Structure 1
């Protein structure tokens, strides 16, 4: 009798063997979509790890250029060359750190001569104080730059992988690809897991072997209670910090205390002004209620509804003017308070945001940009202390940079331009564009008249708008530059207003630290129905930290020339 019916039947996926040997079970090959998904996820993770772990950014550190690189040692290390290092625990997740290689002070826009060395060193000190007075802004800028670079590197690595994959596919040919698919397909999961494990091992080993030289150093007591608390200092820098660091920290604390108190005073001044306006509105409404009753009864007249910021008139566009900030980032919270409490629809920056328009002054641009709430546009006419670099940095925040053309913002048609001159500390003022100020003034007047619908001229230097005001094609001009407020008053056939310095700039005094002069901002209101500026309200902060929010002053009407008046 045959015994064939007693032999086991090979299961699906088993290989049938001769000589009665036990069947060998074959590995199952995952479906094609599973293999491609695992391969894609593995490649994406590898590219992302590469991008994040190799990201770099070139930004400023005080007055210096610096290269920021992501590391795996959980430390932020500022390498100051022969002076030593400054190290703090990294706030980044996943054990990531940052290495900061401090380089030279940029010489792209200014060259320090022997006669100007002291002035330049004074500016360098201000730059250090600007950096450390707003470390949160600096850290945020660095983080965004590193994230952007990491994404680009990850995309670049992905592009390389995809290109290499197609090249390998072409080189192998169809037959060899099928052989490899049959061989490697069943091991797709193992290969993917192996790639991930290798990546984790390499990352862990690099992290463990990248210990900083200063990790055994005790934390410097100088920085206790500051943003750098726990910092470890090595090399010569440790002795310098121990000797003079207390004085610098005292300056930092004085600066923080002054602007915190000034911001509190400004908030109180806004409360008082809004309360006063509410009383005035109620009194006006009471006058309406007390009017003689008409013959036929009618519904009572409701008082005007206040718009955000305390205005009793609806439909007006509220603008906040700042100018001549000169990198005084201490004013950032006060600008934010004014923009929020006034209910501003638009912020106008009349220029001189920086001191020298260098790339390392990005921290100043970033700080002032953070003062404007999301959704509120900022329109900028850069000044003679700014540069094209400054304009590019502002544009990166979504600000509208005026460049000789009319732009429409919140229903207003605004004309303006960047200043034709550039001033560098210790180096004087020179024409930096293809046009002189006189040519720029003529071009603005021509554009204003050709457009036949300009509501506002925003330029840094007041005199540059004279031609446009004389033509009568510009009804209202806003400027800065002089550090002294003037107007609103008639010039030519329009009204000119010059804003004071929002940094409290005073002659021969630094703009960093507590105020040396009165800092001013201005709230304007524009009526889109009549296309006229309605009123002006001055907001000021004095060197003793007192704040005032002034009353609204009506903008005067333009008086036509005598011959026009006689002929009318």
Structure 2
């Protein structure tokens, strides 16, 4: 075979492989689906070419459609969730819609993953003809091409041409469904001229077929909740930029302490704004990010992870974060979840922490299970004192309940214990250890503004707190609390210097 002919054959083979791989990749992508947890539901995400995002909510609530979301659209089918009533479910949608960045980012990530997976599979199929071409060799390829001129060869080529059609079966018809019989109308059309809607939701469409008077009332109630929630937390986040919080000096590092969020995702952007105002670059999470620790609460963890995705992030699970779901999920999102061993901290010292032992499924110390609160506190103190004996005094112990670090303070092995749990700010309190070394304890209030384990709402149910911890030369030197009140006003505590030693 002459060189020009080889080049031509190679070009034709390459073009055919690329076309085949692209066709297979696009087909696989458009027919793929991925199950994830979204807005508290098991949800199935499917890409479409419609450029719209359609949320199928099930038989009891109307479907929603967001127009022109991008070059690729999606259909999201919501499945099972934990909820007490339809009203509670609709309110949850409204709260999440008030700060939708995390679920939107999650859907985008799922679609990108499906596209990459389809592209890799398409590449594999596209390379198949090249592999067969090379495997046959020149002599066998000649025999094959000569065989194509025979009656059997023509029959084989015809079967190969018909095979994709048999697999596709385009002649199959689908029955009309109730979903297809409905029509779309905007929320503005649904609400009517007498209802004032936020500008950003007026063009969202709902499927009008199954919308009854009752579901219309629920939708309008959700819009009212959404409007109040978005306005309250947006105003709070903007106001945080002007707070009179202490600014770090050269060589200092500021960490933002959050605790007891209890699913209140509205406070995440507010907490971030407070941290930015104070020059914070580290977030410490003292637990109780959820109310039950169940997978349906992943929306809360998605929001937390998105709010602080470019900070140094450390955390422990609280007593309401039942089981291992919360810790595992945040670890997968890039958080350092403390497990009883000291780790290097961004401020130059060391950080130690452990999940709350009262949480169902927790209370284990590495491979040992069934330890009590007191026993875990003693093990934590053992670890802190062992680090101190090795010349690496622990600058901070992060726990859900500050009482878990009481033994470590009593032995004089740590500089500072940080916690939450009580939903009431407390400290700083100095504790003198056995050898005369002093340490401090500090308890943050509830960042979610939670009453008991419930924080979801158009505003905090009680005052919402975060704390700012200042470090220098690897050790804590001061603390300050910031509080958002239920009426939207602010309280900022004095910066309290501490001198552990």
2:199 alignment partner, one of 206, 225, 239: 225
1:533 to 476, 485, 488: 476
Corresponding residue of 2:277: 341
Specify the alignment match of 1:421 in structure 2: 358
Quick one: which of 503, 508, 513 aligns to 2:458?
513
Call closer, same or farther: CA 1:214–1:455 in 2, change over 3 Å.
farther
Unmatched segments (≥5 aa) in structure 1: 1-12, 14-26, 107-116, 185-194, 275-309, 423-428, 559-568
Secondary structure (helix, strand or coil) at the match of 2:314 reads: strand
* Pair 1:466-2:406 in alignment: yes
Q: Which residue of 1 aligns with 2:40?
A: 63
Q: Give a deviation string over 1:506-539, Cα, whole Å, max 9, x none.
A: 34864332122111111111122xx431111111
Bigger CA drift: 363-372 or 50-59?
Answer: 50-59
2:23 matched residue in structure 1: 46
8 A Cα contact 1:318 1:342, kept in partner: yes
Match of residue 546 from structure 1: 489
**1:131-142 alignment, distance < 5 Å:** 131-142=96-107
What is the DSSP-based 3-state SS (H/G/I as helix, E as strand, rest coil) of the residue aligned with 2:257?
strand
Report the CA distance shift for 1:461/1:31 in structure 2 as closer, same or farther (over 3 A): same
With 225-234 and 413-422 compared, the bigger mean Cα shift is at: 225-234
Matched, 1:127 2:70: no
> Which of residues 390, 400, 423 in structure 2 aligns to 1:483?
423
Question: 1:256–1:89: structure 2 CA closer, same or farther, 3 Å change rule?
Answer: closer
In 2, the alpha carbon distance for the partners of 1:330 and 1:84 equals 24
* Corresponding position of 2:153: none
1:331 is the counterpart of 2:267: yes
* Distance (whole Å) between structure 2 residues aligned to residue 265 and residue 474 of structure 1: 36
| Partner Cα separation in structure 1 for residue 334 and residue 176 of structure 2 | 39
- Alignment deviations for residues 161-182 of structure 1 (CA, whole Å, 9 cap, x no partner): 6568657865x57633345579
Distance in 2 of aligned mates of 1:42 and 1:180? 23
Work out the CA distance in 2 between the residues paired with 1:228 and 1:147: 29
Aligned to 1:175: 139
Distance 1:265 1:134, change over 3 A: closer
Is the CA contact (8 Å cut-off) linking 1:502 and 1:521 kept in structure 2?
yes
Matches for 1:355-366 after TM superposition, within 5 Å: 355-366=291-302
- The structure-2 alpha-carbon separation of the partners of 1:351 and 1:508, relative to structure 1 and needing over 3 Å to count, comes to closer
The alignment of Structure 1 onto Structure 2 pairs a total of residues equal to 457
CA deviation after TM superposition for structure 1 residue 65, in Å: 1.4
String of CA shifts for 1:127-177, please: whole Å, max 9, x gaps. Answer: 33333222232121111022113312432444456568657865x576333
- Residue pairs, 1:186-265, within 5 angstroms: 213=180, 216-221=183-188, 222=191, 225-227=199-201, 229-265=203-239
TM-score by length of 2: 0.80
Instruction: Compute the displacement of 1:126 (Å).
Output: 5.4
SS in 2 for 1:357: coil
Given that residues 67 and 204 in structure 2 are in contact (C-alpha distance below 8 angstroms), is that contact kept between their aligned partners in structure 1? no
Q: Does 1:100 align with 2:40?
A: no
Q: How does 1:339-488 map to 2 (within 5 A)?
A: 339-372=275-308, 374=310, 376-386=311-321, 387-410=323-346, 411-422=348-359, 433=364, 434-436=369-371, 437-452=373-388, 453=392, 454-488=394-428
Matched, 1:146 2:111: yes
Structure 1 residue matching 2:261: 3-state secondary structure: coil
Superposed CA offset, 1:408-443 (max 9, x none): 131231111122232xxxxxx675652423332222
Q: Which whole-Å deviations, capped at 9, do the CAs of 1:36-84 have from their partners, x for residues lacking one?
A: 5434533442343134313423223443211111123344333334336
Residue 357 of structure 1: how far off its partner (Å): 1.9
- What does residue 158 of structure 2 align with? none
State the distance in 1 between where 2:312 and 2:225 align. 34
Structure 2 distance, partners of 1:546, 1:318, is 24
* Residues in 2 aligned to 1:29 and 1:92: alpha-carbon distance in whole angstroms: 46
CA distance in 2, matches of 1:537, 1:379: 19
Q: TM-score, normalised by structure 1?
A: 0.71
Distance 2:471 2:291 in 1: 31
Name the CA distance, whole Å, in 2 between partners of 1:432 and 1:238: 49
CA offsets, 1:326-358, max 9 Å, x none? 111111221121221111131111111122222
C-alpha distance in 1 between matches for 2:400 and 2:469: 17
- The structure-2 alpha-carbon separation of the partners of 1:252 and 1:230, relative to structure 1 and needing over 3 Å to count, comes to closer
- Structure 1 residues 178 and 550: alpha-carbon distance in aligned structure 2, compared to 1, 3 A threshold: farther
The 1:430/1:503 distance shift into structure 2, 3 A limit, reads same
